[in-house]
A and B are shown apart, each in its own frame.
Chain A
């Protein structure tokens, strides 16, 4: 049941699991929603989506999978339902008095015929967007409760349209975490980074103080607690400057500086395109005041987490060839230096402002990604999240 829907959701990278799918079916079985598309939409949304970031994707998939439904004409619907079945259902759901009323209208066949006529008649009017059978209250069909569970022919149409609007409106687009970092979502990004900087519980037993105060208390126990030390995360930022990505890199720099107080140490260095034998700390004096990369590796231990930010878009020669740099003559190739850095810093990621789906188009991006051990992440909320997780491991 709804397996296609489930699979399509997974294809669209909405993280749904079998358990949730089973919950949905359980919910349907328990009769949580009536049989309108709208209420099915709400139920499946509450069951399958657990993060507002995925709501938009869900809406799109839902719209795609159930696209045909709202365009199904009532006539086709009626034709698709065997008459016998309708009859039986009605018999089950109608009271004696109502059955008598049906009789007075000329029996079942007559009723069906009138219904067909009425439907055909109303089809034209419905295009204009006016009322449907059963809602006005005067039509025999509405009054007779012609909507036994399962075949709600009437109002459904209207509700459908409303529901379609709900998911077609795509109100949750803003919550999607695949958009690039900007002023709007910078707050969330900050929060994520802060989480990265500070992990762990709030208090722990202060043993020396407990012993001291217990002794002071003439042997009556006096427990002392101290707040646990904040996690001492040390971060080393390597920023690629002087390219088209300067703006994104600035965002990233600001981002990390904003949470600077949360880290024990935060240092940053600049490079151009690919790290070589030297980097610099001040862009104005980049030619005069360079720091040798070897010195950086000596100064900052492997307990530092290294974060590279750059588009990794360059000529492959700049990575593989000695002397390949566009700015100076490098005696050793970029990849040698990058390898040294990755070997030194166990926890390292590369944030790339270029959209993830475009990485395949540039050879150098793939090369750098391989060099940093597939730990390249896009500069989006989602990417930042995955990156931070990779750094925390």
Chain B
């Protein structure tokens, strides 16, 4: 079981090493990086390339670690008790399995994605320490211990909104997805749009990286935004020349809405473009 990237996902050697280490030693892999660099997609691609089922657990600000294990619906049981329902005698009727239980109960090795772990409360990772370490947990209501039949491959993504506790980090492998350089980016585009004109890609990438260099942008466009933008460019069937803005007539790239998601950023860019135009006129 070795992960070497897939047809639709370009993995750099450092990422591959980290993923394979996590798979071989059956430890969670914590993935961080700028938004839109393919953290979440990684788990999907690994699952697809290894032919394993993927179970996704999307974490929200209200998510508790317990939600991933199981939930005991005491209120429903109380209601049933009031109604005199027969179901009430068996507590198991009121325990609903969480994502981790699903993964632990699976007959084959699963890929588990815990997405955006930093969104949850600061204690969340701590509450999952034992579960992820030993891959088992105890259900107090039924006094049974749920143990993973096969240790799953766990991917955890974080956007850095909260710091994760040391004890948690010590149990993970860590990888920071850096923003891809131009060469890797060309490979990524190639994988997604094999029939795109080479000239268009070159021009688009130049525009894209120049845009990322603009100081003071609130949200720098990332890989996923570049791919969206290229899709638009392809649909519009723009010639590569349309992107050559060096003549300072049209400094704002066409369809920039896909790249700049923030009104202030668009304004800033327009202002810079205006300044550049004035300068070039002065020449």
Contact = CB atoms under 8 A, between A and B. Distances in A.
Interface of A: 15, 17, 19-20, 23, 26-27, 30-33, 38-39, 42-43, 45-47, 49-52, 55, 166, 171-172, 175, 188, 191, 195, 199-203, 219-221, 223, 385
A199 B122 contact: yes
Most buried by A among B17, B30, B166: B17
Nearest to B168: A50
B122 A203 contact: no
Given A52-B176, A195-B122, A46 B79 contact: no
Interface of B is mostly: mixed
B169 interface: yes
Given A43-B21, A46-B174, A172-B176, A23 B27 contact: yes
A47 to B, nearest CB: 6
A171 B61 contact: no
B75 interface: yes
Contact of B82 (A15, A17, A171, A221): A221
Contacts of A49: 174
B170 interface: yes
Contact of B62 (A31, A39, A46, A202): A202
A38 B13 contact: yes
A230 B118 CA distance: 19
A310 B164 CA distance: 30
B189 to A, nearest CB: 22
Contact of B78 (A33, A55, A221): A221
Nearest to A45: B14
A230 B78 CA distance: 31
Contacts of A38: 13
A265 B64 CA distance: 30
B257 to A, nearest CB: 24
A203 B62 contact: yes
Contact of B21 (A47, A166, A223): A47
B225 interface: no
Contacts of A27: 21, 24-25
Given A32-B25, A50-B169, A171 B20 contact: no
Given A26-B25, A42-B17, A199-B122, A221 B176 contact: no
A47 B62 contact: no
B32 interface: yes
Given A23-B27, A39-B17, A202 B121 contact: yes
A19 B163 CA distance: 20
Contact of B121 (A19, A52, A201): A201
Contacts of A42: 13-14, 17-18
A191 B162 CA distance: 8
A199 B173 CA distance: 27
A323 B272 CA distance: 55
Contacts of A31: 24
A52 B21 CA distance: 19
Interface in B154-199: 160-164, 166, 169-176, 178
Most buried by B among A199, A200, A221: A221
A48 to B, nearest CB: 9
Give 7 nearest A-B pairs by CB, closest first: A42-B17, A50-B169, A46-B18, A42-B14, A32-B21, A52-B176, A46-B173
Interface string B10-36: 000110011011101101011010000
Contact of A221 (B13, B14, B75, B161): B75
5 contacts: A46-B17, A46-B22, A46-B29, A50-B174, A220-B79
A220 B82 contact: yes
B13 A223 contact: no
Nearest to B62: A202
A219 B82 contact: yes
A172 B173 CA distance: 18
A30 B17 contact: no
Contacts of B62: 202-203
A55 B176 contact: yes
Contacts of B169: 50-51
B13 A195 contact: no
B59 to A, nearest CB: 13
B162 A50 contact: no
B176 to A, nearest CB: 4
Contacts of A46: 14, 17-18, 21-22, 29, 173-175
A20 B61 contact: no
Contacts of B22: 46
Nearest to A199: B122
A26 to B, nearest CB: 6
Nearest to A52: B176
Nearest to A188: B160
A98 B79 CA distance: 77
B30 A50 contact: yes
A38 B27 CA distance: 22
B18 A191 contact: no
Contacts of B176: 52, 55, 172, 175
Given A46-B21, A201-B121, A52 B14 contact: no
A196 to B, nearest CB: 11
Contacts of B25: 23, 26-27, 30, 32
A19 B167 CA distance: 10
Given A27-B21, A39-B17, A42-B14, A52 B170 contact: no
B265 to A, nearest CB: 15
Nearest to A203: B62
